[in-house]
Structure 1
Amino acid sequence: MPSSSRPFPERLIVAANRLTRIAALATGSTTPASVWRSLSILETDGSLRIGELARRSRVTQPTMTKLIQSLAEGELIHRIADVADSRAWLIAITPKGIAALDSWREEVGEALAPTFEGLSAEETEILERAVAILEERTETVRAATTAGVA
């Protein structure tokens, strides 16, 4: 099936994934995507247990445990006691982690800027509106999903 005849959500996710790959290559960063994904989840959703963070990051719990160790060594996250279960820990992003995430997002934005050079004012406005719609829709889903997970 030609890509233009595929359903809109499928084309959107393929284009978004392609844009993500272009950004990763353009920055030259060797930091695994799971680092930025995990920090972003913690920034957006707040502190989480390792298993839940692994699920949301789409990695195994052993992989997340190793990732958490690395992030903790870099002071990007810290562990806090879970008041609901004294045997468990919650993982939270630190101010240094937020700063690193902000810096990475800025770097990605700068790396992608040439991709969007030459857009007309109308095209830019359309994309700005599309981003706003995506932010609104994804926040609604995130809030509903987060509310369903205690």
Structure 2
Amino acid sequence: MNQVNSELSTILGDLVSVTHRLTRLAAQATGDSTSPATWRTLSVLTSFGPMRLGELAKHSRVSQPTMTKIVANLNELEWIKRIADSTDARAWQIAVAPKGQRALADWRDRLGSTLEPLFDELDPDDVAVLQRTVDLLECSIAVRSEVVAA
């Protein structure tokens, strides 16, 4: 591994670690008691679209029995909907429902609002760096997701 890749690996590892801490801090500060797996599941469905339960469990990094419970809770809240699987008439896919999209958007807004005071002293250039970082990450992850799905 050359020096540039080693440095990039270190930066990416640090980024993942600090974003996990940031996520935990924001969730604690909002007082939200919803399981992180619930938000992760809605995020997966929003990003990748409808999928079967087993695939959803894999993407959300939980067991299938755990995903069954999460889906039951989300269904009770009307945050997801079941749709017929076009490739198998006996199977169903899970999709995010409009109420689930609104709940996820509200949660993300609460996280951002909660964290904003920690960063309110950043100058416009630093805010632009954060935005560029988000854009780079989203682009890289989208490209990687397409490669994995192919």
- Local SS of the residue matching 2:20: helix
CA distance in 2 between counterparts of 1:7 and 1:19 reads 18
**Paired residues for 1:30-69 under 5 Å:** 30-69=33-72
* Residue equivalent to 2:118: 115
Q: Aligned equivalents of 1:52 and 1:98: distance in 2?
A: 20
Q: Distance in 1 between matches of 2:142 and 2:22?
A: 21
Unaligned runs of 5+ in 2: 1-6
What is the total number of aligned residue pairs between the two structures? 143
Please give the secondary structure, in 2, of the residue aligned with 1:7. helix
Counterpart check, 1:96 vs 2:66 = no
Distance, in Å, in 2 between the alignment partners of 1:107 and 1:50 is 28
Report SS of the residue matched to 2:95: strand
What is the CA distance between 1:62 and its match in structure 2? 0.2
Aligned to 1:18: 21
Deviations 1:40-59 (Å, cap 9, x if unpaired)?
Answer: 11111110000000000000
Root mean square deviation of aligned Cα: 1.4
Distance 1:84 1:124 in 2: 45
Report what 2:132 is aligned to. 129
Q: TM-score, normalised by structure 2?
A: 0.90
1:117 alignment partner AA: D
Structure 1: gaps spanning 5 or more residues:
none
Q: Distance in 2 between matches of 1:31 and 1:24?
A: 9
The residue aligned with 1:142 is 145
Q: Distance in 2 between matches of 1:83 and 1:120?
A: 50
Q: Secondary structure at the match of 1:87?
A: strand
Query: Aligned pair 1:8/2:11, yes or no?
Result: yes
Secondary structure of 1:124 counterpart? helix
